[in-house]
Structure 1
Amino acid sequence: MPEFNHVKIILTDIEGTTSSISFVKDVLFPYAAEKLSDFLHQHHQDATVQQHIKATIELAKQEGNDLTTDNLDTIIECLQQWIRDDKKATPLKALQGMIWQQGYEQGDYQAHMYPDATAQLKQWHSSGVPLYVYSSGSVQAQKLFYQYSQDGDLLPLFSGYFDTTSGGKREAQSYRNILAELQKNHDIVAEDVLFLSDIKEELDAAQQSGMQTCWLQRDAASINNTTATASDAHLSVDQFTDIHLS
């Protein structure tokens, strides 16, 4: 079983790592897509929603789409297309988080957790290892996910959260940005951080920043990009309880 030395902080992905891809793809994404139009028509005057609408327009312009604030339906269609494309757009992720909050609070669903992930995260937390999350979902969505999990409120386990405002998950600079934030509260160097993910390209980027890496390969479905193959660069495990710290 893989053993990792001198780990002071664990940074974990969510989808395919602590939790199933199917919950996000088959429950959360369709729910947001179904509720998006009504949500924006009801809340487009809210200051926070307006901020995300403006960010959507700016991002769309960079892609050659000329959207305006006075045509809400075209903005909604743009966001719906981004959902279909699984685009990691920060304003989309923020709006999805707001919609998902309603669903969680109404009891429409609970976030899936792999039992081994919940058990090991609790063990690491109880032993004093700070736990952080880095996901393409917004920080708000991450907190909702763990607060309304099927294993109860897991928020107390985590010390902080990072999303795409730190950069893309396949970019080494994003992990350097996260490391700089972690170093504000912890006396660490890059190799003191262990990053957990099911995506090889994310692990490659984290490794380039100097972090240690562990590849979660739960099953073929969890490796959701075609270039992911067996790699000597990253130690791999089937579940969290196979990860040993020393």
Structure 2
Amino acid sequence: MTVIRAIVTDIEGTTSSISFVKDVLFPFAHKRLPAFIETHGDKPEVQFWLHEAAEEAGIVEAPRQDIIELLLRWIEEDRKSTALKALQGMIWQEGYESGEYQAHLYPEVSAKLHQWRADGLHLYVYSSGSVPAQKLFFGYSEAGDLKPLFSGYFDTETGPKRERRSYELIAEAIGEQPAHLLFLSDIVEELDAAKAAGFRTGWLLREPLDMPEAPRHPAYRSFDDIVL
């Protein structure tokens, strides 16, 4: 069997509950976004992502309020927009730093990540959330600051998570052959793309999801079930 040298993990539904993102982070960003843009809209980084959002929507020129309403609608739709994710990450930082919430982790995740790292495996994150948001997530987790465990982060600037090429680029960036990389996710289409790129895969099916009789990827209830 090919030796696994690095693990690339998704976040939502894999290391943490989807409900934390849907019921805590998204509402926080939705509530704070208008005031955040009004007070930070002149900062170059914010201006850049507002421009990117407008370009993505095909808007040549629009009042700031129209862009705010566009972004609020995208939050409600859970649109996989790199510009939106970047702006959300800036807003979430305020919530993490003020102590309004900590990132949820499934009970076994922290210990397993520590074990894998102690065993010499390199750990990476690939999520639709922006890289800064990923770092906030693991920096302000219920298990404390887990950032030192990770060697790198990837988001949709690398490419869409359901496209093979994205995983080929990740393997190139890590500097490993895809066969030595394990990708963990709860989304089967993402796993299909990773497998097509040559990755080993692990399908996280947390309770109460049903376990298929013949899953097309190795399927696990928790990280503790994963045997490398």
Instruction: Tell me the TM-score range normalised by the shorter chain.
Output: over 0.9
Alignment of 1:23-42 (within 5 A): 23-42=20-39
Q: Are residues 1:51 and 2:39 paired?
A: no
Is the CA contact 2:124–2:150 (under 8 Å) kept in the aligned structure 1? Answer: yes
1:108 is displaced (CA, Å) by 0.6
Residue 12 of structure 1 corresponds to 9
The one-letter amino acid of 1:88's match is K
Is the CA contact 2:46–2:87 (under 8 Å) kept in the aligned structure 1? Answer: yes
The one-letter amino acid of 2:192's match is D
Q: Please point out which of 185, 208, 216 is paired with 1:233.
A: 216
Q: TM-score, normalised by structure 2?
A: 0.96
1:190 is displaced (CA, Å) by 0.8
Alignment of 1:134-173 (within 5 A): 134-173=126-165
**C-alpha separation in 2, matches of 1:43 and 1:229:** 47
Residue 244 of structure 1 corresponds to 227
Alignment of 1:216-227 (within 5 A): 216-220=204-208
Please give the root-mean-square deviation of Cα atoms over the aligned residues, in Å.
1.5
Residues 213-237 of structure 1 show CA distances to partners (whole Å, capped at 9, x for unaligned) of 000001245x8xxxx9555420001
Structure 1 runs of 4+ aligned residues shifted over 6 Å read none
**C-alpha separation in 2, matches of 1:229 and 1:137:** 28
Query: Identity across aligned pairs (percent)?
Result: 52
Q: Please point out which of 159, 170, 174 is paired with 1:182.
A: 174
Residues 76-100 of structure 1 show CA distances to partners (whole Å, capped at 9, x for unaligned) of 0100111111101000000000000
| Gapped regions of structure 2 (runs ≥ 5) | none
1:117 is displaced (CA, Å) by 1.1
Residue 195 of structure 1 corresponds to 183
Q: Are residues 1:84 and 2:72 paired?
A: no
Q: Are residues 1:95 and 2:87 paired?
A: yes
The one-letter amino acid of 1:140's match is P
Is the CA contact 2:2–2:179 (under 8 Å) kept in the aligned structure 1? Answer: no
The one-letter amino acid of 1:36's match is L
Residues 18-42 of structure 1 show CA distances to partners (whole Å, capped at 9, x for unaligned) of 0111100000000000000000000
| Gapped regions of structure 1 (runs ≥ 5) | none
1:17 is displaced (CA, Å) by 0.3
Residue 68 of structure 1 corresponds to 61
Residue 201 of structure 2 corresponds to 213
**C-alpha separation in 1, matches of 2:19 and 2:2:** 33
Residues 48-89 of structure 1 show CA distances to partners (whole Å, capped at 9, x for unaligned) of 00000110111010xxxx3525x1100001001111111010
Is the CA contact 1:67–1:75 (under 8 Å) kept in the aligned structure 2? Answer: no
1:115 counterpart SS class: coil
1:119 is displaced (CA, Å) by 1.1
Residues 89-132 of structure 1 show CA distances to partners (whole Å, capped at 9, x for unaligned) of 00000000000000000001000011211111010011110000
Residues 180-230 of structure 1 show CA distances to partners (whole Å, capped at 9, x for unaligned) of 1111xxxx2111000000010010010000000000001245x8xxxx955
1:56 counterpart SS class: helix
Q: Which has the higher contact order (CA 8 A, sep 6+)?
A: 1
2:23 counterpart SS class: helix
